[in-house]
Amino acid sequence: MSILCVGSVALDSVETPFGKAERVLGGSAVFFSAAATVFSPVRVVGVVGDDYPLQELDFLGARGADLAGIEKRPGESFFWAGRYHYDLNSRDTLETRLGVFADFEPRIPVAFRDSRWVFLGNIDPTLQHRVLDQVDAPDVVVCDTMNYWIEGNRKELLSLLERVDILMVNDAEARQLADEPNLLRASRWIRERGPSIVVVKKGEHGAILFADGWVFFAPGYPLEVVFDPTGAGDAFAGGFVGYLARSGSMAEADLRRGMVYGSAMGSYAVEAFSVDRFKTLDTRDVAERVREFRAMTAFEAHVEELHV
Amino acid sequence: MSILCVGSVALDSVETPFGKAERVLGGSAVFFSAAATVFSPVRVVGVVGDDYPLQELDFLGARGADLAGIEKRPGESFFWAGRYHYDLNSRDTLETRLGVFADFEPRIPVAFRDSRWVFLGNIDPTLQHRVLDQVDAPDVVVCDTMNYWIEGNRKELLSLLERVDILMVNDAEARQLADEPNLLRASRWIRERGPSIVVVKKGEHGAILFADGWVFFAPGYPLEVVFDPTGAGDAFAGGFVGYLARSGSMAEADLRRGMVYGSAMGSYAVEAFSVDRFKTLDTRDVAERVREFRAMTAFEAHVEELHV
């Protein structure tokens, strides 16, 4: 099942304690697609400037990403430069230049309009609305957002939520959106406004899925070397949505597995700069990592008579 | 199997967004024992001033805590006052008065010296050494510490580690002790210095156990209301060590279950002020919570052929 993915297609310059990468592939749509194509074909919609090395996206095309929705416009591509600190949990943005992304007006190619799975990357909620307006009859809409829109375009974001099945945000965003520090209550507040599922991403601490009457927790995969955290959240979303679209299901068992695939894909994102790790990823790697996730959380509960 | 527990027996005044508690039971030995006695008898060693309401510890005595090692000395009991912020993840210490705890010199009663399980609560590593010197032949030594000792008495702490089987610290402490931001590498550094097991507590984000060749992750239990986080880490330790001592085992399957019992006990600690929640805890509550932990992390992995 093809996933329509709308988001940023960017160039990133990243410094970490381990090295530097200059003007490498980045952006939510790129990280999402690199992870999601492990499971499902993806139809990508975005915009780049005339400086973008589109041929570097060929590896996505070879894996089933349809890049026909990436519009090339005169001007500069979205550019982000950042530096991660010693512990890799915090970063400074050194530069952001929106370039042609500033006037991004998503146009969904006719051939993409029958998409049943839609991933709305983190863009203005007004544009996310317009994407949905152009899709015939989506079965499942998954949406990301950020503090900038929660503050700056809250009204549109709240009306968008009514059209969303799964909201994926980080813990600070969930708390800010609901104005509620308790995650369980924040997620309920959000679910009362549209999405039946809220996935809260917590970086190295893993991710939690909140549904009606149940909760699922996927740990972060403990890595020896966290090389570059950029894109981990979008790769998580790619693994999660990619797996669900592949199974064509929102059943609880699939949502649980999807969380684990998401967490696995997030871990690959941080093992190298940009989307480099995905280029060499094979099925056995993924299967092995999922087995490790299982080993990390499995226990036999035999609750015998306790002392009290 | 009785556990020898040495730590602080304190009075806490706590303010949270939900209310205030004045001079209530606190301290590492008290939280540890409240949780551990759900599983195993505990022998408590500590010191209090002549202002301590010892009769309030009777509920621990009734559950198998031997309080004969709590020394009463002229002066004031260890007193801590703190205020939690809106999101309960940060707190201000308003006042700390060590009182008689400043000159604490642990004396292990003769009847406690045959203890096979020892929990060294967070006190000066020099004193933790002296505790071990007074125990005949412990099988398993579990140790907590904090940034104050990591900075201030590092040499004694490092020599203590050689006598410790399980170190339990929070993530910041593990990183500081090993001078290494990556938790996997920090835990290996620590394990090379004595403990075969390192348990890293991460508050609401759960806890990770690092062993030789395997890792186990226990999520934090998502609560509607986090009432008072004080003592959650010590209650975690109580559940973990209590369960292990009960099974008399350091087998992997028991360590995994111990982590889940630890996380469950941590969740009870935060549901009410002080150790109040433990007073009404019964076996069915605990069994039900452990089942919920299982439901939160269980997934069926059928890694079919993937798309790549």
Residues of B in contact with A215 (CB under 8 A): 222, 296
- The Cα–Cα gap between A231 and A212 comes to 29
Q: Do B295 and A214 touch (CB under 8 A)?
A: yes
Q: What is the pLDDT of residues B102-147, one digit of tens each?
A: 999 999 999 999 999 999 999 999 999 999 999 999 999 999 999 9
In the block, tokens 């304190």 appear at B10
pLDDT score of B307 more than 80: no
Q: Which of B40, B189, B217, B305 to mutate to test the interface with A (most CBs of A within 10 A)?
A: B217
Average predicted confidence (pLDDT) for chain B:
95
Looking at residue A214, its pLDDT comes to 97
Q: A222, B184: Cβ pair inside 8 Å?
A: yes
pLDDT digits (tens, 9 = 90+) for B13-54: 999 988 999 999 999 999 999 999 999 999 999 999 999 999
Contact list, B300 vs chain A (CB under 8 Å): 253, 256-257
Express each pLDDT in B78-103 by its tens digit: 999 999 987 787 889 999 999 999 99
Q: Which helix (H) or strand (E) holds B137?
A: none
CA A104-A107-A110 angle, 5° bins? 165
> pLDDT at residue A308 above 60?
no
pLDDT of A17 over the 90 cut = no
Q: Which residue has the tokens 């348990």?
A: B199
Overall average pLDDT of the A85-90 stretch = 80
Where do runs of H (alpha helix) occur along chain B?
28-36, 58-62, 125-133, 147-152, 154-161, 171-178, 183-191, 232-247, 252-269, 276-279, 283-297
- Angle in degrees, 0-180, between the axes of helices A252-269 and A232-247, rounded to the nearest 10: 150
Residues 201-220 of B with CB under 8 A from A: 202, 204-206, 208, 214-217, 219
Q: Are B35 and B76 in contact (CB under 8 A)?
A: no
| Residue partners of B128: CB distance under 8 A and separation at least 6 | B6, B120, B143, B160
Of the candidates A205, A283, A307, which has its C-beta nearest B308's C-beta? A283
Chain A partners within 8 Å of B89 (Cβ): 181
Q: Residues 217..276 of A with a Cβ closer than 8 Å to B: which?
A: 217, 219, 222-226, 242, 246, 253, 256-257, 259-260
- B39 and A296 within 8 Å at the Cβ level: the answer is no
Contact B301, B255 (CB under 8 A): no
- Mind listing the pLDDT tens digit for each residue in A101-153? 999 999 999 999 999 999 999 999 999 999 999 999 999 999 999 999 999 99
Residue B231 pLDDT exceeds 70 = yes
CB contact under 8 A, B291 and A301: yes
The closest of B105, B104, B175 to B133, measured between CA atoms, is B105
Three-class secondary structure of residue B162 per DSSP: coil
Q: Which of A169, A141, A177, A151 is nearest to A250 (CA)?
A: A141
Q: Letter for the amino acid at A130?
A: R
Q: If residue A244 lies in a helix (H) or strand (E), which one and from where to where?
A: helix A232-247
Q: Which of residues 16-55 of B touch A (CB under 8 A)?
A: 37-41
Please count the helices (runs of H) and the strands (runs of E) in chain A.
11, 13
- Verify whether the Cβ–Cβ distance A256 to B294 is below 8 Å: no
B231, B276 in Cβ contact below 8 A? no
Residue B245 has pLDDT above 90, yes or no: yes
Say how far apart CA A301 and CA A178 lie, in whole Å.
Answer: 35
- Using CB atoms, which residue from A88, A202, A305 is nearest to B181? A88
Selecting from A283, A295, A308 the residue whose C-beta is nearest the C-beta of B283 gives A308
* pLDDT tens string B191-213: 999 999 999 999 999 999 999 99
Rounded mean pLDDT, A208-218: 97
Q: Is B106 helix (H, G, I), strand (E, B) or coil?
A: coil
B112, amino acid identity: F
Chain B interface mutation, best of A87, A303, A304, highest count of B Cβ atoms under 10 Å? A303
Q: In this complex, is the C-beta atom of A284 within 8 Å of any C-beta atom belonging to chain B?
A: no
Q: For residue B148, give Cα distances in angstroms to A45, A143, B51, B176, B177.
A: 53, 44, 27, 11, 11
Q: How far apart are the C-alpha atoms of A94 and A14, rounded to whole Å?
A: 9
Q: Which residues have CB under 8 Å from B111's CB, separation 6+?
A: B66, B68
CB-based contact B181 A87, cutoff 8 Å: yes
**Å from B269 to nearest chain A CA?**
16
The single-letter code of the amino acid at A214 is W
Contact at 8 Å (CB) between B135 and B108? Answer: yes
pLDDT over threshold 90, residue B304 = no
The amino acid occupying position B274 is S
Helix, strand or coil, per DSSP, at residue A56:
helix
Over chain A, what is the mean pLDDT? 95
Give A286→chain B minimum CA distance, Å: 8
Q: Is A286 on the interface with B (CB under 8 A)?
A: yes
- C-alpha A114: how far from chain center: 22
Chain A's closest residue to B60, CA to CA, is A308
Indicate if the alpha-carbon torsion angle A49, A53, A54, A57 is positive or negative.
Answer: negative
- Stretch (H or E) spanning A20: strand A19-26
The reply to whether residue A295 touches residue B87, judged by beta carbons under 8 angstroms, is: no
CB B72 within 8 A of CB B54: yes
Backbone angles phi, psi at A88, to 5 degrees: 65, 5
Q: Which residues of A touch B222 (CB under 8 A)?
A: 183-184, 208, 215
Cβ A200 vs Cβ A182: under 8 Å: no
| DSSP annotation of B221 | P
> Nearest 5°: phi and psi at B235?
-65, -40
Residue of B nearest to A90 (CA): B181
pLDDT at B283 over 90: no
**DSSP secondary structure string for all residues of A166-188:** EEEEEHHHHHHHHT-S-HHHHHH
Does residue B305 register a pLDDT over 80?
no
For residue B302, the 8-state DSSP code is -
pLDDT of residue B230: 95
A216 with B301: Cβ contact below 8 A: no
pTM, rounded to two decimals: 0.94
Between residues A36 and B300, the one the model is more confident about = A36
pLDDT of residue A304: 61
Burial class (CB in 10 A: 0-12, 13-18, 19+), B129: middle
d(CA B258, CA B143): 16
